[in-house]
Amino acid sequence: MSVRAVHFVGSFPAASTDDAMRAMLAAGPRLRTLPTGEVRRYEWYIQPIIDDLVAQGVLEVSKLGSWRSSKDRPIHRVPRGVELAGGMLNFGYLEEAREALPIFTRLRAVADLPGLSLQVGMPTDFTMTFIATGVTGLRRHRKAFQEATIREITAIRELAGDDVVVQLEATGEMVLMAKTQPVHRRIDAAVGLARGIAETAAATPAGTRIGVHLCLGSMRNKARTTLRDTRPLVDLANSIARQWPSGRTLEYIHGPLAAGDIPPVPNYEFYEPLSGLELGRGTRFYAGLVHETPTEAAQVETIRMVEKALGRPLDGVASACGLGRRPRLIADALVARAATLAVSD
């Protein structure tokens, strides 16, 4: 019987941080990290953060949108006459970590899991800048968003030390790679997708523990795009690992093998490129394949196909994205299914 880790991407549909963390802790000793649950933003992910920046007067709406989908989102700009700097941006991750840390410490002790770490998730600066300000804003304002991200990571590291793993969530990067296949590797090189993630990591304090979540989006449980096969995922993951800075630990890379309401593909050819995954010693690969639609037996068969392609057992199983866009009953069921799949033959 294989024993794989269980990974949760971060968000969970709960009334409180304590409730969310307790629900995910039901996966038990297979967990390596316990997310905060992101209860302030679990349903809408980045929207509450952007709304806060508007309320702070840092951004203003330049194009209206309803947030019904990622395409139909509002686009923002910096107010006229304002020069955006990282010190002006407060994303709220530190406050989230401050609330979660004492809850985490208590739950870890009760569960007797001394090796468990707190997980704090946040979009990469590329993803946050693009969603907030569009392509034009990427050119003008990404540096400020990166500075603010690094500042919050540094503060969280000072707060929790080695007890915290920061998860950088690369939705914009993964979607762009998927949409530009088969020339996606040129896009990575030209735009600096992996390089930007590595540069952010390099600017964090020495010893910072970081995981990377490659994401296809899940607004209203609908992915922004889908993969033709796993090649863009493999190429982006390898590029990140190859450029990773010394002195910062790349704990894991999580890859989406499902997409929103679309379950994993029941086709070995889809997973075959995983044979080329090269993350380096000590970096785990978490397969985002846990989904409510297939039967448990079908999910076990998917794991077999993935492990055949990898040529080794999986390090862990996960859903493709956070569970916050799912009803609570389904989220709880997926916690249980992940725990079951982690020990399946």
Domain extents in the chain? 5-342
Structure token pair of residue 35: 């997310």
Residues with Cβ within 8 Å of residue 325, at least 6 apart in sequence: 11, 13, 42, 43, 218, 219, 220, 221
- Tens of pLDDT along the chain (345 residues) come to 567 999 999 999 999 999 999 999 999 999 999 999 999 876 667 888 888 899 888 998 888 877 766 677 888 888 888 888 898 999 999 999 999 999 999 999 999 999 999 999 999 999 999 988 888 888 889 999 999 999 999 999 999 999 999 999 999 999 999 999 999 999 999 999 999 999 999 999 999 999 999 999 876 777 788 899 999 999 999 999 999 999 999 999 999 999 888 889 999 999 999 999 999 989 999 999 999 999 999 999 999 999 999 999 999 999 999 999 899 999 999 999 999 999 998
114, exposed or middle or buried, with CB in 10 Å at 0-12, 13-18, 19+? exposed
CA-wise closest residue to 210 among 173, 258, 247, 261: 247
Angle between helices 17-25 and 93-111 (to 10 degrees): 40
CATH code for 5-342? 3.20.20.210
